[in-house]
Amino acid sequence: MDTTYETFPSLCRHTSRFLICFITFLPFGLWGYTSWLTIPVMAVITFLLVGTENIGIQIEQPMLVLPLEILSAGTKAAVEAMSMAQGQADRWAQLPEDLRAISGVDGQAQGTPNGK
């Protein structure tokens, strides 16, 4: 079953055009009820409706607005850092006991509270 949504661009355009027409003609209907308050009322209504439409577009197509390149670069850097740290830990684990004591691993170097 194909789950792609082929009509999204036309649906998005249709919704945007309808919303613009609605916002354009709504003040004429509100003038009789709100008189000069129509201007701030329309500013609030326009902000809410256009914001809701934008949120809907972002929910439908999240890959267009997410900073995926930045997120993947950060993840790659973190994985490489963990891999390098694990490699260094493996090398320390392979050192003989007397070398680890000299280098200060496990708190057994001279001058530490657990040292000899």
The average pLDDT across 3-15 equals 70
Positive or negative CA dihedral for 98, 102, 106, 109? positive
Q: What is the pLDDT of residues 64-98, one digit of tens each?
A: 777 888 888 888 888 888 888 877 777 766 666 66
Total-model pTM = 0.51
pLDDT at 66: 77
d(CA 23, CA 28): 10
